[in-house]
Amino acid sequence: MDEKMLRDLLGRAVRGEPPLGPVARNALRAGIRLRRRRRAQGTAACAAVLAAAVFAVPALTGTSRSGPALPARPAPPARVVYVANLYSGPSSSVTPISIATNTPGKPIAAGGLPLFMTVTPDGKTVYVSNNGAGTVTPITTATNKPGTAIKIGPDAGQVAITPDGRKAYAITGGPQTSPGYARLIDLATNKPGKLIKVGYNPGAVAVTPDGRTAYVGNYNTSLVTPINVATGTPGPPIRTGRGPCDFAFSPDGRTAYVVNQVAGTVTPVSTATNRPGKPIKVGTAPISMAITPNGRTAYVVNTIGTVTPITLATDRPGRPIKVAPGPMAIAITPDGRTAYVLSYESDAVTPIDIATNTAGKAIDTGDGPRAIVITPDGKTAYVANFKSNTVTPITVATGRAGKPIKVGKQPTALVLVP
């Protein structure tokens, strides 16, 4: 699969609309080299970050606007990192890598074009969303054997699992002019349930920490659809900003933060009332965000080559931090000291010192870094490199990249399994 095919695939994953409006697109092109210009649309696509969204180990962290935080669950040690290989011959695959030895295991058949992965809270099952096949494949982590593929619908997208591990929501869509859907999956039986109508071009889905509400970002609109998990019914859409494509939650679950790529904003939403707050201007074409473990600061990745910190107690953005051109994903170490920013276009991983908000020297991990996970003990970060077909471990204490691990063709997503 060449990069033109990848751009087409990512475009289909967000149901066909160009990822940026004309203002954002012009800003992107103005300051980026010719090599990036040729591929800007593909890497800026919201689907690209969602394919790598599972990298963010501390994704459901943040700050509380009121009330105490939910008790933190100690993270179990990770033993395996699973790698989705977008194209591995006749059948796409998932490769398990032993964290103890950094050696890859036998590839696991997944289905057509796996773009997204997620894992159940107990770590017993990995669910692989196969965009091309319109299915989700369960993999039993104890045996590394795939189960029967679950039919979702055209262009199967991101999957979110409830904290109790009983239900999952997988997004799927029709033509750009038709409503998209969230498909309910009963995880006890792995049977697909009802289709829940959401907005046009659903591109992101997340479940609140208390498991009561699932939110679906409808990229072709300015709307987020809340779904009552108990009843499976959608509520009135929430207007957040054009191009909602990523979510994060405060630790008490009372606030959802929505990244709006086309609007260039992050919008806080009360999960109790589903009312949006004032949008926070962060930069041009924000694509992903991560929140420090202490819940004080959010870091928002802007595809023009900056990362904007937000002080969440006041919702005030700070001075943008310059990183390598074409950033698309970010992850923060469990101790909250370092953020790693992946720049697919620049073949670079930029560390940011959180205490000073300064970018360090770029780390060379391989060509086309697309996804990152950080082990719960904070010792190692794993980076999937789409163009060099490798996963590279980074020793967090030294910031040095280790020997690349060969995996299947075009790795797109990573998950850690205890």
Which CA distances in Å does 241 have to 87, 140, 255, 322? 34, 38, 16, 24
pTM of the model: 0.86
Query: How is residue 214 written in tokens?
Result: 């699932």
Q: Cα Rg for the chain, rounded, in angstroms?
A: 19
| Nearest of 19, 55, 22 to residue 39 by alpha carbon | 19
Name which of 353, 385, 357, 381 is nearest 369 in CA terms: 385
What are the tokens at 124?
């017993």
For 3-417, CATH number?
A: 2.130.10.10
- So what's the pLDDT on residue 29? 38
What is the C-alpha separation between 310 and 281, in angstroms, rounded?
10
Which residue in 203, 201, 198 sits closest to 235, CA to CA? 198
> Which residues neighbour 21 within 8 Å (Cβ) at sequence distance 6 or greater?
242, 262
pLDDT (0 to 100) of residue 46: 53
Using CA atoms, how far residue 305 sits from 23, 102, 326, 344, 353, in Å, is 16, 31, 6, 11, 17
How many residues in the chain?
418
Secondary structure of residue 190 in the 3-state scheme: coil
Which residues, listed in sequence order, are joined to residue 192 by a DSSP beta bridge?
A: 185
Number of Cβ atoms within 10 Å of the Cβ of 106: 8
pLDDT at residue 1 in the model: 46
Query: What pLDDT does 41 receive?
Result: 32
4: DSSP letter? H
pLDDT < 70 stretches in the chain: 1-75, 88-91, 174-177
Query: Do 114 and 98 form a contact (C-beta atoms < 8 A)?
Result: no
Q: Judge whether 24 and 17 are in contact, CB under 8 Å.
A: no
| Predicted local confidence at residue 42, as pLDDT | 32
DSSP string computed for 63-96? --SSSPPPPPPPPPPP-EEEEEES--TTSEEEEE
Distance CA 201, CA 218 (A): 5
Locate 51 and state its tokens: 């394919």
Give the other-Cβ count within 10 Å of 26's Cβ.
11
Task: Please report the pLDDT score of residue 53 as a whole number.
Answer: 39
pLDDT at 88: 61
CA dihedral defined by 2, 6, 7, 12, rounded to 10 degrees? 140
β-pair partners for 391: 384, 405
